[in-house]
Structure 1
Amino acid sequence: MTRRPDKLSEDDRVLWNLVARTAKPLKGRTAVDVPEIAAEAKPSQSQPALAATNAAGTAKPKAQHVTHRLDEPTLDKLSKGRLPIEGRVDLHGMTQDEAYSLLFSFLHRAHAGGIRYVLVITGKGSSSGGDGVLRRAVPAWLSTPAFRPLVSSHDHAARNHGGSGALYIRLRRVRS
């Protein structure tokens, strides 16, 4: 019988912390403090894009990378099931921090495994009268430097896969 190493991989640590933060202690026990995860990689939703200064000292807007939309033939094949969706993750009911950590670790594992197309379910967010925090946030996250090496393009899913409450994501090819 082989022993597993005592150290957790970064992906395992992210998933474990997500689960540990949602667990309730047994009766008569106190909750264990779980540290924040991936705090340095999370984008700040409350701050606008930072401005850089040029040699003259005037501010210019910082250029942000924009991921491309899926091309029509690929979108059509995905929606009709002729191109397989090799992985899916559901972010329903999560906070932004939980969703960001899970999405990043999911896409990182999928990319490392050579998967090309995944479905990310954000939900529509209309149950409380809002327009969906994750529905708006996830596409913005996909354009950040943390996701840039993983994501090639993304677009809203077809109605049968969740419509505007889900995204198709094409991952970049693994460099050999």
Structure 2
Amino acid sequence: MKQDKKAFTSKKTSNEEEIALFREAMQDVIPLAPSKQVVHRQKPPQPIPRPAVETATSKDTLSDHISLEIPEGDEWSYLRPGLSRQMLRKLRRGHWKIQAELDMHGMTRDEARYALVAFLDECGKYGVRCVCVIHGRGLSSKNGEPVLKSRVGSWLAQRDDVLAFCQANPEQGGSGAVLVLLKLSA
């Protein structure tokens, strides 16, 4: 037992010596002034998984029989009634960062409708505010005209969670894409 007590005492002594050495080494050190700057690290958006199976109810939620008038060659947009035009202006100018994107190239009308419903539903679940929907310009369609553009516009206008949408800027797809501002779910 005497040996154990000695070992404990010698450990304590060496620990006290180390502390004394550290304090001696640090006696001339001046602490840094506290910084008033805060470093924010931006978190990347959560990926939005694609649903494995489409439900039958998704198909019936959007109608192809409601059309949205889009003048040929004009930049088109939509703003839910009662909202400020300022919101649409902000969307056009990129006030909200695009958090998710759906590319409908090569999809049929029905595939595009299913994909849009699933995409917007998932965006609502994850609290996504601004998205880009790429419908294409119709360059490879039979008549060389956009097939999905007017349908996408009317489908978006039917959704309660869509506050506004407008044609994307040229670097985001121009007339082949639309920026959509979504209502944040409660």
Name the TM tier (shorter chain): 0.5 to 0.7
| SS of residue in 2 equivalent to 1:132 | coil
Q: Match for residue 98 of structure 2?
A: 85
CA displacement at 1:161 relative to structure 2 = 0.3
Gaps of 5+ in 2: 1-48, 68-77
Matches within 5 A, 1:100-119: 100-119=113-132
d(CA) in 2 for partners of 1:126 and 1:91? Answer: 14
* Correspondent of 1:73 among 90, 95, 116: 90
Matched, 1:40 2:76: no
CA RMSD of aligned residues (A): 2.8
- Counterpart of 1:135 (choices 137, 140, 149) is 149
Aligned length, in residue pairs? 123
Query: C-alpha distance in 2, partners of 1:152/1:41?
Result: 17
Q: What is the aligned counterpart of 1:16 among 35, 52, 58?
A: 52
Q: Which has the higher contact order (CA 8 A, sep 6+)?
A: 2
- For residues 94-129 of structure 1, give each alpha carbon's deviation from its aligned partner in whole angstroms, at most 9, with x where no partner exists: 011111111111111111211110000000002233
Task: Summarize the Cα distance change of 1:116–1:100 in structure 2 as closer, same or farther, 3 Å threshold.
Answer: same
More helix by share: 2
Task: Tell me the distance in 2 between the aligned counterparts of 1:74 and 1:158.
Answer: 10
State the TM-score, normalized to the length of structure 2. Answer: 0.57
State whether structure 2 residue 134 is matched by structure 1 residue 98: no
What is the percent sequence identity of the aligned residues? Answer: 29
Contact residue 79 and residue 164 of structure 2 kept, 8 A: no
Secondary structure at the aligned position of 2:148 is classed as helix
Shift of the 86–39 alpha-carbon distance from structure 1 to 2, 3 Å rule, reads: closer
CA distance in 1, matches of 2:51, 2:109: 15
Paired letter, 1:168: L
CA deviation profile, 1:135-166 (whole Å, cap 9, x unmatched): 1110011112xx12x21110000000000100
Quote the offset at 1:84 in angstroms: 1.6
TM-aligned CA deviation for residue 75 of structure 1: 1.5
TM superposition shift of 1:87: 0.4
Q: Conserved in 2, the CA contact under 8 Å of 1:90 and 1:121?
A: yes
Structure label with greater radius of gyration: 2
